[in-house]
C-alpha cells in the first residue's frame, strides 16, 4: 500500500503555486493538504482566490479548499511544504517554517546562496539532499524541532547546469562557459510579469538579477559539501551570461559555449555520448516524475525548439542540439528546458520525491 505524505503549498495562487497544485493533484506520493497565500486571499475558497491561468482546469478537490495565511502553525501537520512565494516575503516566512520543524522546498531566491542550504537541480546534484536527510534524521532522533530548507535553482540555471553536470562528471572541470539565454514569458510570473504590449514583436535584453544568478548558482550546484555540511563552490569555473526575454510562452532556450580544463579536450563524439549516457539519480531511485532519459541529444540541425521539444518526458528532461566545435572555446551547443517544470514547480516535486526515496520523511 502506498503511504501518501501531506503537502502544503505557499503562494498557492501564483504562477508557480498553480503548477504545484496541478503536479500534486494526482500524485501517488503526496496529498495536497494546505494552501497558503497572502492575507488578500486567506479565508477565501481556492476557486475564488485564484486567477487560474493554466490550460488544465482547477482540480476539483482544490476548488473548495480554504486558503490560509502563510503561518507555520497552519501547516504543522504537513510532511513537506512547497514554496512559490514572492521573494519580497519568502525569506522570513520560509525561515519561520524551518524553525517550526517543517521541511520547505522553495522556488524563491532568498536562501539559495546560504552556505548551509542545498541548492538543488534534481537531475544534477540530488546528492546534496543527503545533508538534508542527515539533518532531519538527527533532529528526529534527538526529538528536536528543527526543519530544513531546500532551494530550487533559478529557471535558466536549471537548463544550463544539466549538460554541464553531465560533462563535468565525465571529463572534469569546464573552465569557461559563455551562455546567452532566450527566456520564456512565463518565467516572469503573473504580477507584475511581462506586459503583452512590451514583448509583442520584441526581445527584451534585460532580466533583472538573472545574469548574476546564472554566474553564481552553477558553481554551487556543481560544488561539494564540507565535513561540516557546508556547501562549497566548484573552483576553477568562470561563467559569462547574457539574458533575454523573448515572446515564447514556456521553455528557455540557451546558446552555450564551453572550454574544458583538460587539453586536448574530449572529441565531439565523446561529448555527445557523455550527454546521451548521463543518468540522473532520481531515475535510478525510480522517482515518479523522473525523466525516462535525462538529456536528449538531437541531431536535426534546427532543434531543439521550445514549442516542439519543451514537453519531452513531461517537461522533466532537457534537450540539447547543434553540438559542434567552437573556434574560440572548445564546443558550442543549444539547450532547452521547461522553465516552469524543470525550472520551478516540477523540480520542487522531484526534489521531494527524491527526499522521500532517501528516507527524509
Ligand atoms: P506570482 O505569480 O506573483 O505569485 C506570488 C505568490 O506569493 C502568490 O500566491 C501571492 O499570493 C503570494 N504572496 C505575495 N505576497 C504575500 C505575502 N505577503 N504573504 C503570503 N503570500 C504572499 O509569482 P511566481 O511567478 O509564481 O513566483 C513565485 C516565486 O518563485 C518567486 O520568488 C519567483 O522568483 C520564483 N520563481 C518563479 C519562476 C516562474 O517560472 N514564474 C521560476 C523560478 C522561480 P496572493 O495571490 O494572495 O497575492
What values do phi and psi take at 323, rounded to 5? -75, 120
Distance CA 259, CA 233 (A): 19
**Residue of the nearest CA to atom 18 in ligand 1?**
38
Distance CA 342, CA 187 (A): 12
| Given 27, 111, 128, 252, the catalytic residue | 252
Ligand 1 in reach of 186 Cβ (< 6 A): yes
Distance CA 222, CA 239 (A): 13
Query: How far is the centre of ligand 1, averaged over its atoms, from the C-alpha of 191 (Å)?
Result: 8
What dotted CATH number matches 5-154+345-357?
3.40.50.720
Mean per-residue pLDDT, 261-281: 98
* Local confidence band at 196 (pLDDT 50, 70, 90 cut-offs): confident
Residue 56's pLDDT is 94
128 is catalytic: no
- CA distances 51 to 8, 46, 58, 135, 203, Å, are 19, 9, 10, 38, 27
Distance CA 108, CA 119 (A): 11
> Cell triple for residue 255?
546558446
> Cell triple for residue 311?
514537453
> Is 3.30.360.10 the CATH number for 156-337?
yes
Ligand 1 in reach of 187 Cβ (< 6 A): yes
Query: How far is the centre of ligand 1, averaged over its atoms, from the C-alpha of 133 (Å)?
Result: 27
- CA distances 16 to 22, 41, 97, 157, 348, Å, are 10, 16, 19, 17, 10
Domain segments of the chain: what residues? 5-154+345-357, 156-337
What 3-state DSSP class applies to 333? strand
**C-alpha 293: how far from chain center:** 17
The neighbouring-strand residues paired with 295 are 318
Ligand 1 atom having least distance to the Cα of 90 = 32
* pLDDT single digits (tens) 213-232: 999 999 999 999 999 999 99
Considering the entire predicted model, what is its pTM? 0.97
* Local confidence band at 191 (pLDDT 50, 70, 90 cut-offs): low
Ligand 1 atom having least distance to the Cα of 339 = 40
338 is catalytic: no
Ligand 1 in reach of 343 Cβ (< 6 A): yes
* pLDDT single digits (tens) 78-110: 999 999 999 999 999 999 999 999 999 999 999
**Residue of the nearest CA to atom 34 in ligand 1?**
108
Ligand 1 in reach of 165 Cβ (< 6 A): no
Mean per-residue pLDDT, 343-352: 98
**Residue of the nearest CA to atom 43 in ligand 1?**
344
Ligand 1 in reach of 207 Cβ (< 6 A): no
Residue 130's pLDDT is 97
> Cell triple for residue 180?
546567452
* Local confidence band at 3 (pLDDT 50, 70, 90 cut-offs): confident
Amino acid at each position: 500500500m502506498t503511504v501518501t505524505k501531506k503537502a502544503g503549498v505557499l503562494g498557492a495562487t501564483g504562477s508557480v503555486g498553480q503548477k504545484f497544485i496541478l503536479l500534486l493533484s494526482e500524485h501517488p506520493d503526496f496529498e495536497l493538504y494546505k494552501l497558503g497565500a497572502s492575507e488578500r486571499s486567506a479565508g477565501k475558497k481556492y476557486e475564488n482566490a485564484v486567477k487560474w491561468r493554466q490550460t488544465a482546469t482547477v482540480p476539483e478537490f482544490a476548488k473548495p479548499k480554504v486558503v490560509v495565511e502563510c503561518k507555520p502553525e497552519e501547516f504543522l501537520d504537513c510532511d513537506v511544504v512547497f514554496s512559490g512565494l514572492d521573494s519580497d516575503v519568502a525569506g522570513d516566512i520560509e525561515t519561520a517554517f524551518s524553525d517550526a520543524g517543517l521541511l520547505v522546498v522553495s522556488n524563491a531566491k532568498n536562501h539559495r546562496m546560504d552556505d548551509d542550504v542545498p541548492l538543488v537541480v534534481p537531475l544534477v546534484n540530488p546528492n546534496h539532499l543527503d545533508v538534508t536527510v542527515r539533518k532531519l534524521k538527527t533532529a528526529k532522533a534527538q526529538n528536536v524541532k528543527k526543519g530544513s530548507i531546500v532551494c530550487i535553482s533559478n529557471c535558466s540555471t536549471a537548463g544550463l547546469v544539466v549538460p554541464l553536470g553531465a560533462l563535468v562528471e565525465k571529463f572534469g572541470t569546464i573552465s569557461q562557459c559563455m551562455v546567452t539565454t532566450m527566456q520564456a514569458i512565463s518565467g516572469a510570473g503573473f504580477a507584475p510579469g511581462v506586459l503583452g504590449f512590451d514583448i509583442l514583436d520584441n526581445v527584451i535584453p534585460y532580466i533583472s538579477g538573472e545574469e548574476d544568478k546564472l554566474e553564481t548558482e552553477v558553481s554551487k550546484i556543481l560544488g561539494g559539501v564540507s565535513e561540516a555540511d557546508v556547501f562549497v563552490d566548484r573552483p576553477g569555473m568562470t561563467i559569462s551570461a547574457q539574458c533575454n526575454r523573448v515572446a515564447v510562452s514556456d521553455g528557455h532556450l540557451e546558446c552555450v559555449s564551453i572550454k574544458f580544463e583538460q587539453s586536448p579536450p574530449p572529441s565531439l563524439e565523446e561529448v555527445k555520448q557523455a550527454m546521451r549516457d548521463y543518468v540522473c539519480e532520481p531515475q535510478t531511485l525510480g522517482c515518479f516524475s523522473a525523466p525516462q532519459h535525462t538529456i536528449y541529444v538531437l541531431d536535426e540541425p534546427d532543434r531543439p525548439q521550445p514549442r516542439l521539444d519543451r514537453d519531452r518526458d513531461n517537461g522533466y528532461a532537457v534537450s540539447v542540439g547543434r553540438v559542434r566545435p567552437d573556434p574560440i572555446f572548445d564546443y558550442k551547443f543549444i539547450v532547452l528546458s521547461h522553465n516552469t517544470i524543470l525550472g520551478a514547480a516540477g523540480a520542487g516535486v522531484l526534489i521531494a520525491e527524491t527526499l522521500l526515496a532517501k528516507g527524509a520523511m
